[in-house]
Structure 1
Amino acid sequence: MQVDTPQVLFKNRHLGRPATLAEYRAGGGYEALAATIGKRTPAEVLQLVLDADLRGRGGAGFPAGRKWQGVPTDHVGTRYVVVNTDEMEPGTFKDRILVNADPHLVIEGIVLCAYSIGASEGVFFIRPSYEGDAELIEQECRVAREHGYLGNNILGSDFSFDLHVHRSAGRYICGEASAQIKAISGLRPNPRKGGPRTAVKGLWDCPTIVNNLETLANLPGIVRNGPAWFKALARSATGSGTKLYSVSGQVARPGCYELPIGVTIREIIFEHAGGMAPGKTFKTVIPGGASTPFLPEALLDLEMDFDPMRAAGQRFGTASLMVFDQGTCLVGATLSLMEFFARESCGWCTPCREGIPAIRELLRRIEGGQGTEEHIQMLTDLLPVLDKAYCAFAPGAAEPVRGLLTHFMNEVNAHIVQKRCPFGNPPPTLRGKACGTRPIQFGPTPCPEDQCPI
């Protein structure tokens, strides 16, 4: 679909194939790198990124330039850039689309980041189900080396940097920066809390910058066109640049769209994604990926930008919209998300290891018609416990539940009053015999199907 907004990241997007090096260069590709290496200092590149107010596109929204400022300038030895392409969050698929659209845009952005922080080695960390993308990046890295854009003495300068692809073991927690560094190192990928930041002591105890793939893909445009150009791409007063919005669920045209930061949720769904699928009526949307809360119809005109979303009690996240229609049971949908989060927890800290399965079990009971008012209070009490977890995984998992209880309490109550799912969903498997009468037993494994009492 053609859209009337500048296409920066998707400028060279073609149906069914990635852009070639020749196509990328024809549109100004690698001009930013050629105008930088040997002509600008690393500090000047960093200042461009700071002035552009480029915020991380992986979910947290932390300013990229401020992260880079954490790298010690007096470090003697190797510095690393780690490109986070793990993308294990349900509903999020923008990085896969971007790699397949314009791999050399991604490579140029990585090299510019490396030049700014003085890195000589890069790791392209990618989820295992993206094997085709991993092979594509490996292939295009070879092409970039052949043309002097990667490897030793880039463009005839004294700057050298190379990029290697690392395939993830395939767990969600590997997308967390400190856990990702451990995963690359061959260690148990649990998050690290306290101590020096990864920018100071990361991969192999060397300074390491971990950035999302989409974040780094913005660098060639910023360096070539300037911070003012980048900020002007946004619609909102606090935004900068464009954003890749993944849209899935009950819409007419699910897909990935490049639109300005600050575009409204209503416009994304009802204009670019074609509105609701035939015969479907809008009910709610998770706007920023699975670890963000349900958003009611009253907030559809909210700007998709970090600050406006936060002010409204929402999260911008990865800007991955999952759209639900009136025929969807939101208790069941939330339970499905909790099944995912319970499975993907690394199990390192108690609030996450025990809290998420506890919430899952409560939702199973409510969805299966065994819920009580006491279970609602237990859910409410558990949510603050997840906020005390070791990393952002458990607080993110709590968000859909928080949205359910805030905006769709009528559905929860209907399950309890009617003692069944009002949408006709079959009861989920609950753990333990006589699930409706025995105390709740929390844990990761449901009872076998042939022993389920429901």
Structure 2
Amino acid sequence: MTVAQETPQPHTSPEKLLAPVLSAFWDEPRSWTLETYLRHDGYQGARRALGMSPDDVIAYVKDSGLRGRGGAGFPTGMKWQFIPQGDGKPHYLVVNADESEPGTCKDIPLLFANPHALLEGMIIACWAIRSSRAFIYLRGETVPVLRRLQAAVREAYAAGYFGRDVLGSGMDLDVTVHAGAGAYICGEETALLDSLEGRRGQPRLRPPFPAVAGLYACPTVVNNVESIASVPAIMLRGKEWFRSMGSEKSPGFTLYSLSGHVASPGQYEGPLGLTLRQLLGMSGGMRPGHRLKFWTPGGSSTPLLTEEHLDVPLDYEAVGAAGSMLGTKALQCFDETTCVVRAVTRWTEFYAHESCGKCTPCREGTYWLVQLLRDIEAGKGRMADLDKIADIADNINGKSFCALGDGAASPIFSSLKYFRAEYEQHVKGKGCPFDPAKSTVWADDPHPTHRSHLGVNA
């Protein structure tokens, strides 16, 4: 029985719950081209912004309430406002497209289907912060997206949206697409800047912050793809329209990435504040014959939640009050066949592998977490190990150079909070109870091909 069947769904139709803006024409033929984008009021928001003063554009975005869609939720307009003016230095805009968080898959589809939304947003952002140079740092493995993005940049140059005297505004703007080399740590903004400068990607000690000394020691704004791509619609349709969606402190629309043991995974664009119950209702619920066990609201680095949190509004305040973080709205859903210990072990192995090694808490802590978790999963652990992994996670959390350490600690804390009994079962039973060879957990499974412990269909 699916979650959608077990719990009554709201009477509001899915069409009224969703708010397609960035994804409004993803299903059109050649949606990624300039021709298609112009048919949908493309670059009209930029024309309006260029008719305003840079300070007025910053104030407008600030008043709209747009918050960064990359995970932290910091107000976008306020971030732009931090750039010092009249300092005589070049100012830079850097778009963080190094989407690497397990479960997060919104920026790459957006760039693949509608790259000009980002490019138009970059014009507006560069005008606001008085920048003539912008960079897009893209995850290098996504070669088809890289080619499509490069083609869109060429189209924009040819049409006069980039280059000299953009749209007659007097602003010059050059854009560079840079392909990263596949390091998760480069999703952290200061490590990204080091990588752009040709150095090994490692987080910088702050202060100074990028707004003061960022790329090439100059004032720099680093924004997520979705954050910048949301700006043109705000400029075109108005800040009141944007504030009409979501909540007072978390207004606007966003992309929800639904994945895992669900009937219809994919991107669902709607107002902030939708609940997982509503999204599951639209997507057909969990896979047939199974029920939700736990889920992540913003990728693997956010504390996991359970079935009791189905009705938590997916906005920054409500998810925070529930003990997690909204993050990137990467909703990974796991059913009752999933071993929590195994899932957390795999996530921790990822963080240990991707740690840049610069700071001791993260470098050593993630290594030892992996050793202990592997022992617990294999039935070689001791009861004292449960307190030990909690203690190691505590020594990492808030004590590392960047948020990677916090992300590695989050699944440990939250899984022990909600599923400590399952950890104890591994220790007392000398092995994983979800192993098909040792358990009857699969006996009633009508879909034996779905025997995945990792939360994705086999």
Superposition TM-score, scaled by structure 2 size: 0.90
Q: How does 1:91-130 map to 2 (within 5 A)?
A: 91-130=103-142
Task: Report the equivalent of 1:392.
Answer: 403
Structure 1 position 295 matched with structure 2 position 305: yes
CA distance in 1, matches of 2:329, 2:306: 16
1:381 to 359, 381, 391: 391
Distance 1:149-1:167 versus aligned 2 partners, 3 A rule:
same
Q: Which amino acid aligns with 1:170?
A: G
CA distance in 2, matches of 1:93, 1:15: 20
1:366 to 353, 372, 376: 376
Measure how far apart 1:114 and its partner are: 0.6
1:252 to 229, 239, 263: 263
Measure how far apart 1:195 and its partner are: 2.8
Give aligned pairs, total. 424
CA distance in 2, matches of 1:16, 1:280: 36
Structure 2: 5+ residue runs without aligned partners?
1-12, 439-458
Contact 2:91–2:131, Cα closer than 8 Å, also in 1: yes
Measure how far apart 1:2 and its partner are: 7.5
Q: How does 1:278-293 map to 2 (within 5 A)?
A: 278-293=288-303
Q: How does 1:35-434 map to 2 (within 5 A)?
A: 35-37=48-50, 39-234=51-246, 236-268=247-279, 270-387=280-397, 388-424=399-435
CA distance in 2, matches of 1:400, 1:349: 20
Identity %: 41
Aligned to 1:60, the other structure's residue is in SS state coil
Contact 1:148–1:156, Cα closer than 8 Å, also in 2: no
Task: Report the equivalent of 1:34.
Answer: 47
Measure how far apart 1:15 and its partner are: 6.0
Task: Report the equivalent of 1:430.
Answer: none
CA distance in 1, matches of 2:327, 2:169: 38
- Specify which structure has the bigger relative contact order, considering alpha-carbon pairs within 8 angstroms and separated by 6 or more residues: 2
Aligned to 2:364, the other structure's residue is in SS state helix
Aligned to 2:142, the other structure's residue is in SS state helix
Contact 1:266–1:300, Cα closer than 8 Å, also in 2: yes
RMSD: 1.6
Distance 1:141-1:298 versus aligned 2 partners, 3 A rule:
same
Structure 1: 5+ residue runs without aligned partners?
428-454
Measure how far apart 1:17 and its partner are: 4.4
Q: Which amino acid aligns with 1:351?
A: P
Measure how far apart 1:154 and its partner are: 0.4
Task: Report the equivalent of 1:9.
Answer: 22
Contact 2:313–2:319, Cα closer than 8 Å, also in 1: yes
Aligned to 1:36, the other structure's residue is in SS state helix
Superposition TM-score, scaled by structure 1 size: 0.91
